[in-house]
């Protein structure tokens, strides 16, 4: 898709700039077309670290982790908490959601 936008095809007109998030494949494609078409940036890996005391709704924490994990199977979504019971509740939320 990035190449089609950068160079154009019979059905996709060439664009001036390729922008937007993506996984490692999008970042690599943007690297290849950089200098031939404008790009917004070459984004790094999606990752999130949540530090929680166990007082937040486990569903909210699960959704926060999903917010980055959905971008790429190699994305890092890490939760740190001193409350083992809370970690189990978040794990259950992840499974359920």
The 10s digit of each residue's pLDDT in 60-96 is 999 999 988 887 777 899 999 999 999 999 999 999 9
* Element at 80 (helix H, strand E): strand 76-80
Domain boundaries, the chain: 2-39, 47-96
| Cβ–Cβ < 8 Å for 78, 45 | no
d(Cα 88, Cα 67) in Å, to the nearest integer? 19
In this structure, what token pair is assigned to residue 69?
A: 């994990």
Question: Which positions ≥6 away from 16 have C-beta within 8 Å?
Answer: 37, 38
In this structure, what token pair is assigned to residue 58?
A: 């486990």
The 10s digit of each residue's pLDDT in 3-17 is 999 999 999 999 999
The 10s digit of each residue's pLDDT in 21-72 is 888 899 999 999 999 999 999 887 778 999 999 999 999 999 999 988 887 7
CA–centroid distance for 81 within its chain:
23
């Amino acid at each position: 898709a990035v190449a089609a936008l950068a160079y154009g095809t019979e059905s996709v007109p060439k664009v001036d700039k390729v922008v937007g998030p993506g996984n490692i494949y999008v970042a690599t494609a943007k690297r290849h077309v950089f200098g031939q078409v404008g790009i917004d940036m070459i984004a790094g890996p999606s990752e999130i670290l949540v530090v929680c005391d166990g007082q937040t709704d486990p569903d909210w924490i699960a959704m926060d982790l999903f917010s980055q994990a959905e971008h790429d199977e190699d994305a890092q979504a890490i939760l740190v908490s001193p409350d083992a019971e809370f970690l189990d509740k978040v794990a259950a939320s992840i499974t359920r959601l």
